[in-house]
Structure formats: C-alpha cells, structure tokens
Chains A and B, each alone.
Chain A
Amino acid sequence: MSLVAPGHPLLELQDLHVHYGAIHAIKGISLSVRQGEILTLIGSNGAGKSTTLRAISALVRASGGRILYRGHAIQGYRADQVVGMGIAHCPEGRGVFPAFTVRENLEVGAFLRKDREGIEADIETAFTRFPVLRQRARQPAGTLSGGEQQMLAISRALMCRPALLLLDEPSLGLAPQVVQTIFAIIREINRAGTTILLVEQNAHMALQVAHQACVLDVGTVVASGPAADLARSDEVKKAYLGGH
C-alpha cells in the first residue's frame, strides 16, 4: 500500500450505510480523515458513532457505500486483516482482557508482530506514558480501575503500531483529572505521527484536541468542518456543549 502524504486523506467514508437487521443505523455518511490529523466524531447517544467505527474495523458489515483506506476499498476484509493494514480500534467500554495481566494485554495487542525487541520497546513506551501500568504490570487487568483500564486499552491498541487509531469514547465515566490526562496523551500520540478518529460524548474536550470535527445525528452527518469553527457554532454549542 502506498504511503499517504500529510494532509491527504488516509481514510475516507463515502456514503456509508449500516443496517442492524431492520434498523438503519448509518444512513449515508461521508467523511475524510487526513493523514496526521485528529478528526472527532461527536453526537448524542445512538447517533451511530460506535457503529461507524465498527464498520471501519469490520466488526459490522457495511450495507452500502465505500470505505477507502490509503485509497483502497477495504470493506470485505476480516477484522483481523484490517488490523494488519494498520487500523487499530480501541472499543467502547475498553474491552481489556480481565484475566490477562496488564503486560499480557499489551503483548496480545502486538499479536501480528514478530519483532520481539520492537514489542518490548513499545511496552516500555506504554509504561513510560502511563507509569501506573508499570506498577500494575503483573496484575490481572480486571483488577484495574476504570481510568487505568482505559490507559491500558489505548496502549494496547497502539501495540500494533497503527497508522490510524479509532478511539471510542476514551473519556467515558472517568474523573475530570483522568480525562485531562487521557486527552493530553491523545494529543501526544497524534504528534508522534498517528492519525486519530476520535468518537466522543465530551464534545467540549474533543473539539479542543481535534483538528476536524463531524457532528452525527441519527445516522447522518449534520455538521462538519474545522474543530475550532464547530466549537464556535451556535447550533453545536446549543446541542452538544450545553450552551457554554
């Protein structure tokens, strides 16, 4: 697959549709995530944010439209193949393996890699980024707090060295202090070169870290543009930022 220059689309959704049986959850979404950027997808409960990410990572099948990654259509591939292409998905609700230790969770995140030394180096990076994970390295992940599990889930998703990271509500249910940490890390991961598609309920924070934003409402895009513009838009303020 060809390399994508900064500023060019790494991922494009063209008129994406997803059905859950008779439920038409995504009704023709088009958006484009550019190389090196953070695009945030905001919207209320049930808008279809998680479904969009699941369609990209092939956990659900798109019923129409195209998903282009580096210019190639990727629908029809299995989820494990999509990971192999460099797309990591950190799912809603974290999904750490509770019986695995913290370290084993990180190792299984690198399942497709063979470079022992590189994997060790990346585990070390995760431990440096989140020192609490180093302290808990031998502890079953099920015993971690919600915030610690989120840190682990993000670190685990990075273990496959993705070009594109799909993050589903990383701030959900976390104390404000921890939310700050998580968002700072998201920015740092992006600066280090990973393109990010960030799904968030916390629109206020999301619009601060993101370059671009898309507002989703019952399966369609109702607003999109530079994050700073959307943060100033009256409609977005009223609907998603509590009028502040």
Chain B
Amino acid sequence: MTDLLQTLLNGLAVGSLYALIALGYTMVYGILQFINFAHGDVFMIGAWSAYAVAAALGFTLAGGDPPGWAAVAVLLSSMGICAVLGFFIERFAYRPLRSAPRLNVLITAIGVSLLLQNTGQLRPVFGTQPQSMPALLPDTTLFQVAGVRVGLVDVTVVLLAVAMMVGLQWLVFRTRFGSAMRAVSHDHRIAALMGIRVDTVISFTFVVGSALAAAAGFLFAMKYSGLKQPADATWVLLGLKAFVAAVVGGIGNLQGAMLGGLLIGMVEMLGAAYLSPHLRDLYVFVLLIGVLLFRPTGIMGSTSVEKV
C-alpha cells in the first residue's frame, strides 16, 4: 500500500512535468500543424537557466538556506529566458518557412534542436559538466499518508503545474486572445479576415509554450536536482516522452496533452516499480503504440471539437 501510494505520487509529479511540456508541442501543432522538435530542448534550457540564475544570484549547494523569494525569482527568470528564446526560434527559424513544405520545417526543427543542445554546452553558456541544482525550497514534510511522506517539493511541482494548466485553459477558452488563438488554429486566412493579426498569435503561442516548458524545467530541477549536460541523451528522451504524451492525448488538444502527460507519468512509474526499473522508457512507447492502434488520433483526438 505504501509502495503503491509512493509510486502514484511519483507518477503524478513526473506526469505533471510531461503535461506541461506536452502543452507546448500540442499548441504549436494546433496552430501550425507541425511538430516543433526543438521544444524538448527549450525544456532543457529552462532547467539549465534555473540553475544558472540560481548560481548567478549566489545560491549554491554549499550556500545555506536561500530566502523564500529565491524560488520565485529563479522560476520567473527561467520562464522569461525561454519565452524570449521561443519568440526568436519562431521568428527566425520557422516564420521564413511558413509556406515551405512541411518536411523543410521539420528538418529545420531538428537543426534548431541540435543548435540549442550544442550552444548549451559552450563554456560561457552552461558548459559540458553535469551540475546539481541547489535546493531553493526547504525539504519539509507537509504531511504523511499511510507512511508516504509528502514533501513541499512534490506539492509545489503538482500545484504549480496544475495552476499553469488552469491558467492556460482560461487564456485559451475564456479570453479574447484565446479566441484569436483558436481561430488561427482553425484557419489562418479566415482568422485574418476577422481582423486577427496571425503572426502575433503565432509568436505568442511560442512564447507561452516555451514559458511552460521552462516552468517544467524549473520544477524538474527542483525535484531531481541532478542536471545532465545540455547535449545529454536524457533530455532528448524526456522531451520525446512529453511528445508521446501529446500524441497519446490527441495532438492539438490541450486537455489531451494534460491527460496524456499524467498517463505517461503513471505508466512509467508503475512499470518501473512493479515490472522492471530498467525498462521504464519501454512502457511509455508500448503505451503509445497501444493507444495509436485503437485510437489513431489519440485519446481526445477526434471526439473533442475544441482544438488549439
């Protein structure tokens, strides 16, 4: 019982991270019908920026307890950095290819991905060494359920992720700008005929998606602290699993991305705990194949009318 609860808690935490990243894949797909393969790398940059900002502010592993605002400052800086990065990626890598064949854009996305990984490895950027993220949040136990310790970090991960998803839902379905996003996702030209400035909506989509990926990166660094070097394969794999989450949920569908993220997180953790810890990546891809066999458009793909 304790084991199962602990596993579910882990699944919930990692699933929230996948969901946050998956939202960026699905938003961009909804608006431009292409897979931004560099999105996983934006997540990596988000995690590393959190580390770099923390270090620049003087918070290190050895430095004692940081003040309460440290986590907030680091989170916001990291989101800001990635928001700007997302803006520039769209503006200079993808916009010139707006009317080019899909394949060209896809290849460009892979190029951007490699560029981010390898730029991240440069000495003045993040360097080639793995680092440990200092604990910006105290390691307090909030409560215990059936022997499972629920710590501040876990609760922060889940609550912050949920808050951002709720915020995004509100933005997309309850605001004027959200209507513009949904209109553009249906048809760029008809959206333009409504007076919507399509390029602005597309830029904004990248900005929001990248900021969410940065938040996921920050939370990842909070929870796991060990950051592999920027070009390490673990980042690629994390990004890939988040992409799988978006596909499993139904690419282009916001609720689908969140559901897919949680599902992937749970399956990965349950498999690791009860089958074999060495095959945790395998379960994710088996789930992908299973879902696509029975529902090629993903769980929420074709049934839902609301798409972004």
Contacts and interface: CB of A to CB of B under 8 A. Distances in A.
Q: What is the interface residue range for chain A against chain B?
A: 20 to 34
Interface in A136-195: 140, 142, 156-157, 160
B305 A79 contact: no
Interface string A78-110: 111001100011010001011110001001110
Interface in A211-242: none
A97 B190 contact: yes
Contacts, number: 65
Contact of A108 (B183, B198, B305): B183
Nearest to B193: A89
Nearest to A100: B182
A107 B197 CA distance: 16
Given A80-B198, A142-B305, A99 B182 contact: yes
B192 interface: yes
Q: What is the interface residue range for chain B against chain A?
A: 10 to 19
Contacts of B180: 108, 111
B241 interface: no
B195 interface: yes
A170 to B, nearest CB: 15
A142 B179 CA distance: 16
**Which applies to chain B's interface (DSSP): helix, strand, loop or mixed?**
helix
A80 B182 contact: no
Contacts of A121: none
Contacts of A97: 182-183, 186-187, 190
A223 B193 CA distance: 30
A238 to B, nearest CB: 36
B190 A80 contact: no
A109 B183 CA distance: 10
A98 B186 contact: yes
B183 to A, nearest CB: 6
B182 A109 contact: no
A5 interface: no
Given A80-B198, A140-B305, A142-B305, A108 B193 contact: no
Nearest to B306: A99
Contacts of A98: 186, 305
Interface in B169-202: 176, 179-180, 182-183, 186-187, 189-190, 192-198
A57 interface: yes
Nearest to A87: B193
Contacts of A109: 194
A95 B198 CA distance: 16
A79 B186 contact: no
Given A80-B197, A98-B305, 5 more contacts: A59-B189, A79-B189, A79-B192, A95-B193, A160-B195
15 contacts: A59-B189, A79-B193, A80-B197, A83-B194, A91-B190, A97-B183, A97-B187, A98-B186, A99-B305, A100-B183, A108-B196, A111-B179, A111-B180, A111-B196, A156-B194
